[in-house]
Amino acid sequence: MDPILLEVLWNRLIGIVNEQAAALMRTSFTSVVREAGDISAGVFDRRGRMIAQAVTGTPGHINSTATSMGHFLKAFPLETLAPGDVLVTNDPWKTASQLNDITVMTPVFHGDRVVAFFGNTCHALDIGGRGLSADAGEVFEEGLFIPVMKLHDGGRPNATLIDVLRANVRTPEEVLGDLHAQVVGNEIGGQQLLAFLGEFGLPDIEDLSDAIVARSEAAMRARIAALPDGAYQYELVCDGFDAPIRIVATATIRGHHLTIDYAGSSPQVPRGINVALNYTHAYTTYAVKCALSPDVPNNEGSFRPVTVTAPPGSILNARFPAAVAGRHLVGHFLPSAVFGALAQVLPDRVTAPGFDGLWDTQIFGHDPRTGRPFTYVWFSAGGTGALATRDGLSATAFPSGIAGTPVEVIEALSPIIIRRRELRRDSGGPGTFRGGLGQLIQVAVRTDRPFVFSGLYDRITFPAPGLLGGAPGAPGAISTNDPAVAVRPKTRTLVPAGTEITLSLPGGGGYGPPVQRDPSLVLDDVRNGYVSAERARTDYGVAIDLERMTAARIDAGLSR
- How many other C-beta atoms can be found within 10 angstroms of the C-beta atom of residue 418? 16
* Residue 25: exposure state from Cβ atoms within 10 A (0-12, 13-18, ≥19): buried
pLDDT for position 55: 87
pLDDT attached to residue 206: 96
How far apart CA 164 and CA 173 sit, in angstroms, is: 13
Looking at residue 548, its pLDDT comes to: 66
Round to whole Å and give the CA distance between 432 and 471: 10
pTM of the model: 0.95
Secondary structure (DSSP) of 292-355:
H-TTS--SHHHHTTEEEE--TTBTTSPPTT---TTTHHHHTTHHHHHHHHHTTT-GGG------
Residue 428: exposed, middle, or buried by beta-carbon count in 10 A (0-12, 13-18, 19+)? buried
Cross-strand bridge partners of residue 24? none
CA angle 68, 121, 26 (to 5 degrees): 155
Q: Do 181 and 29 form a contact (C-beta atoms < 8 A)?
A: yes
Residues 225, 427: Cα–Cα separation, whole Å:
38
What pLDDT does 559 receive? 47
| Helical H segments across 332-464, by residue range | 334-342, 407-413
Using DSSP bridges, classify how beta strands 477-480 and 492-495 pair: parallel, antiparallel or unpaired. Answer: unpaired
**Residue closest to 410 by CA, chosen among 371, 362, 368:** 362
- Environment class of 483 (CB within 10 Å of its CB; exposed 0-12, middle 13-18, buried 19+): exposed
Distances (CA, A) of 46 to 66, 109, 204, 223, 291: 13, 11, 9, 29, 31
- What does the pLDDT read at residue 546? 66
| pLDDT value for 131 | 86
Per-residue pLDDT, 549: 60
Edge-to-edge strands of the sheet including 39-44?
50-53, 39-44, 113-123, 101-110, 86-89, 149-153, 156-157
Give, for all 560 residues of the chain, the pLDDT tens digit: 789 999 999 999 999 999 999 999 999 999 999 999 999 999 999 999 999 999 888 999 999 999 999 999 999 999 999 999 999 999 999 999 999 999 999 999 999 999 999 999 999 999 999 988 999 999 999 999 999 999 999 999 999 999 999 999 999 999 999 999 999 999 999 999 999 999 999 999 999 999 999 999 999 999 999 999 999 999 999 999 999 999 999 999 999 999 999 999 999 999 999 999 999 999 999 999 999 999 999 999 999 999 999 999 999 999 999 999 999 999 999 999 999 999 999 999 999 999 999 999 999 999 999 999 999 999 999 999 999 999 999 999 999 989 889 999 999 999 999 999 999 999 999 999 999 999 999 999 999 999 999 999 999 999 999 999 999 999 999 999 999 999 999 999 999 999 999 999 999 999 999 999 999 999 999 999 999 999 999 999 998 876 666 555 444 344 44
User: pLDDT by residue (tens digit) across 323-354?
Assistant: 999 999 999 999 999 999 999 999 999 999 99
> Which residues have C-beta within 8 Å of that of residue 174, sequence separation ≥ 6?
29, 30, 125, 126
What pLDDT is attached to residue 558? 41
